[in-house]
Structure 1
Amino acid sequence: MYDIAILAIIWLSVLVASFLAHKTRLTPVLWYLFCGAILVNLGALPQEMPIFITDFAELGIIIIMFALGFEEDTNNFLNSMKRSWGIALFGAVVPFAVAYFSAYYFWQNNNIALLCGLAMTATAVSLTMVSLKSEGLSKTPAATGIMTSAVLDDIASLAFVAILVPIATGEATVSLDGILLIIGKAVAFFVLVTIIGGWLFPTNPESTIINKLPIIGKIGLRHILAMGKGEYTILALLLIAVLVGLLAHEFGFHPAVGAYMAGLIIKKEYFDFHQEKEIDFYLHARGIIDNVAFSWIGPVFFVALGTKLIFDADLFVSVLPESLILFAGLFVGQITSAALAAKYTGGFDWSSSLMIGFGMLGRAELAFVVINIAFVQHQILSVEAFYTLMLTTFLLNCSVPLTIRWWKSKFQVLI
């Protein structure tokens, strides 16, 4: 019952955070993070979450990303990737350089600096996309640009994690074969997802060469979603999200990336069934998925994320100058590099470019993976470096909903 009690406390904090968000007109994500940090430091939540809560939070972020991909138009996403390469490149190189040189200046240790740079490279796209959705901006060109840039960022960051962490720990050296293997796995994953979306799950199964195969050739995604007169539609969708997420994990990516891609391959046309029931199954499914993602499972991820910041007064004061310097450098560097890249390599207008810059500020999943490897598993990071990264990450995450909320009034979009 202990794990259930923790979940009850988290859900209670979600209700409180939602109430505070309504009263302050700030995005709930900020309050989820705040509640998690307060509760863990008051002792109401444990510093080390039980595996049940950890897995539940992981499921939350998978469903969140699936829900966001489910709302996105596949063609818009693919077209945006052509515009986003510069945002991904410069939006990652500059934060890495800022964090690396700042950390080296603070602690005079190359391995610490290397892993600090790596931790501060990848964007927490889930935090940004939820913040954009709460402001009604999740389907704008800027949001798609952020998502595609962050996916490219995550692919590159995962490659660097696989390459640089063993180097920093002294377990390996740079290998051309290793680099080619990582690139090959990334290409193979996206090709496989494309095959799943275009061939195995076509709108019209008879229109593809797969129809010659037994069983699979006669079954499209529409048949699966229509099972039981549509009563199993949500179960089928969540199963697809989890399975593609697991597939992404096998290829070395965060499951959330796979879940987003799963949402992308599902088209509105798949829900054209059981018209005699006079139900729009697409809108019905979206409503339920959104409720699950943004109201009761997804928020657990953000509350749990807030519990990563443990308050220690003496240590907090000692690392505050370094944290503020690193935060300021990343804040300016990330916004400037991403916005300029969006404007001059992606062709976005200045309003959208700045929104992309603000949206790229967050740091979450991959940052904590690197921090965990460097501090817990291999003891490369000092305690001071660990707290500096944690505090900086928390400040960056808090900046995302605040800056998006502030810029929304000046953000010119066509809805």
Structure 2
Amino acid sequence: MHDIALLAIIWASVFVASYLAHKTRLTPVLWYLFCGALLVNIGILPQIMPVFIVDFAELGIIIIMFALGFEESTSNFIKGIKRSWGIALFGALVPFAVGYFFADVVWQDTNTSLFVGLAMTATAVSLTMVSLKSEGLNNTPAATGIMTSAVLDDIASLALVAILVPIAIGETSVSVFGIFFILGKAIAFFIIVTFLGAWLFPTSNGFAARIPFLGKLNLRSVLSMAKGEYTVLSLLLIAVLVGLLAHEFGFHPAVGAYMAGLIIQKEYFDFHQNDERDHYKHAREIIDNVAFSWIGPVFFVALGSKLIFEASLFLSVLPYALILFIGLFVGQVLSAALAARYTGNFDWPSSWMIGFGMLGRAELAFVVLDIAYVQYNIISMEVFYTLMLVTFLLNLSVPLCIHWQKKNLKMESE
């Protein structure tokens, strides 16, 4: 089947998912995942997606995260980091411990246990943020707490991947230099993004204004080209470039795209005063449409297609998957919620929302599974399918729990 035909099928499923979401009053993300799983298991979508669909889906999550960062206030995000260290710490340690000790009891192999714990550590913030967006909760303190915690969580998880993988495959031992090098890369990335946001983009106001030629290339002048006709193109280019920069530093490009959205200020769109169009509002509307209506959903349909059912294998791993899922669900929600309440000083409804929001597993989990199962054959097929099923159940829980907890947030505010 032609790659374009596959894209047409995925887009058709987005229509179906959106209709079902409207009828059931559930977030569309849940139905995107369901449609992906259904289509791959009845043979309409291939088990291995072509590169075109994979790259298109990755572009979708980059634009989604840029759109979410674009709506967030930079000051709120920075304040959120100060409140979220405990959520990131305990919200990662507990899932790792649950995964590790469960695997140690069931499969009794140290390397398998390391990879199971590692795969279940990092939160898939993209799924959570889109679910919050669909419920109108993406600008709440809980959403900021989830995002900042997940960013810190990803930094720690990336460091663990770089440290534990060489140990598990027997290539090398841990060195102090290696650990500090990984942490240094993470710090360097955020310093570069901060520099772009604070000094380089608004060059007409910062120290870069004194630099010949560079001082004339501020972001406002780029956004205002041809009466703002290239504003959206400029923004998407920035999202992709910062995403690629994040990739070079070891992060998922979506994290970089979110940071790119954060550092773009509303004041940059204050041009063409005689133009009746609100360029900031217009750009947000277009980017939101691209992110949440026709490119972004492809990511979630493709994500759902990763769960392939093989009856005998499915039935054999189902008990293990359910036990691990329950353990991770309870451990993740309690650890993140209690940390949010007692280290971040969030109220209880927001704390529980943060706990539910930290349940998702996607990008880094699949990276770990690819390393452990595909590249080095460290884990068995049974372990692989167990983790895939657990990941799917955790992702399925996110929109359901957020939808349910939304009612409690409303009750608290009334």
Mark yes or no: TM-score above 0.5: yes
- Whichever residue aligns with residue 325 of structure 1, its letter is I
Deviation of the 1:414 alpha carbon: 6.1
Aligned position for 1:137? 137
Output the CA distance in 2 between the equivalents of 1:6 and 1:70. 30
CA contact (8 A) 2:101 2:113 kept: yes
Q: Which runs of 5+ in 1 are unaligned?
A: none
Aligned position for 1:93? 93
CA contact (8 A) 2:322 2:390 kept: yes
Aligned position for 2:77? 77
Output the CA distance in 1 between the equivalents of 2:272 and 2:6. 41
Aligned position for 2:309? 311
Deviation of the 1:161 alpha carbon: 0.6
Output the CA distance in 2 between the equivalents of 1:146 and 1:32. 22
Counterpart pick for 2:295 among 294, 297, 301: 297
- Whichever residue aligns with residue 157 of structure 1, its letter is S
1:13-412 correspondence to structure 2 within 5 Å: 13-202=13-202, 205-412=203-410
Deviation of the 1:277 alpha carbon: 1.9
Deviation of the 1:206 alpha carbon: 3.4
**TM-score normalized with structure 1 length:** 0.98
- Whichever residue aligns with residue 335 of structure 2, its letter is S
218-227 vs 361-370, greater mean Cα deviation: 218-227
Deviation of the 1:211 alpha carbon: 1.2
Output the CA distance in 1 between the equivalents of 2:220 and 2:400. 41
Q: Which runs of 5+ in 2 are unaligned?
A: none
CA contact (8 A) 2:123 2:360 kept: yes
Deviation of the 1:214 alpha carbon: 1.9
CA-to-aligned-CA distance 1:232-282 (integer Å, 9 cap, x gap): 000000000000000000111100000000000001111111122201111
Output the CA distance in 2 between the equivalents of 1:214 and 1:281. 29
Output the CA distance in 1 between the equivalents of 2:365 and 2:287. 27
16-25 vs 168-177, greater mean Cα deviation: 168-177
User: CA 1:51 to 1:316, structure 2 compared with 1: closer, same or farther past 3 Å?
Assistant: same
- Whichever residue aligns with residue 175 of structure 1, its letter is S
Q: Secondary structure at the match of 1:410?
A: helix
34-43 vs 404-413, greater mean Cα deviation: 404-413
Output the CA distance in 2 between the equivalents of 1:264 and 1:215. 26
- Whichever residue aligns with residue 151 of structure 1, its letter is V
RMSD after superposition: 1.0
Output the CA distance in 1 between the equivalents of 2:138 and 2:29. 14
Output the CA distance in 2 between the equivalents of 1:69 and 1:345. 24
**TM-score normalized with structure 2 length:** 0.99
Q: Could you list the runs of 4 or more consecutive aligned residues of structure 1 that deviate by over 3 angstroms after TM superposition?
A: 412-415
208-217 vs 328-337, greater mean Cα deviation: 208-217
Output the CA distance in 2 between the equivalents of 1:49 and 1:166. 29
Output the CA distance in 1 between the equivalents of 2:25 and 2:297. 17
Output the CA distance in 1 between the equivalents of 2:21 and 2:155. 33
Output the CA distance in 2 between the equivalents of 1:147 and 1:96. 19
Output the CA distance in 2 between the equivalents of 1:208 and 1:115. 46
Output the CA distance in 2 between the equivalents of 1:238 and 1:36. 26
CA-to-aligned-CA distance 1:288-318 (integer Å, 9 cap, x gap): 0000000000000000001110100000000
Output the CA distance in 1 between the equivalents of 2:52 and 2:166. 30
CA contact (8 A) 2:204 2:218 kept: no
Output the CA distance in 2 between the equivalents of 1:208 and 1:138. 31
Output the CA distance in 1 between the equivalents of 2:171 and 2:138. 42
Output the CA distance in 2 between the equivalents of 1:366 and 1:399. 18
Q: Secondary structure at the match of 2:137?
A: coil
Output the CA distance in 2 between the equivalents of 1:208 and 1:21. 47
CA-to-aligned-CA distance 1:33-56 (integer Å, 9 cap, x gap): 000001001110011111111100
CA-to-aligned-CA distance 1:86-137 (integer Å, 9 cap, x gap): 0000000000000000011110111001000000000000000000000000
Deviation of the 1:404 alpha carbon: 0.4
Q: How high is the sequence identity, in percent, across the aligned residues?
A: 75
CA contact (8 A) 2:57 2:295 kept: yes
Deviation of the 1:170 alpha carbon: 1.1
Output the CA distance in 2 between the equivalents of 1:110 and 1:199. 48
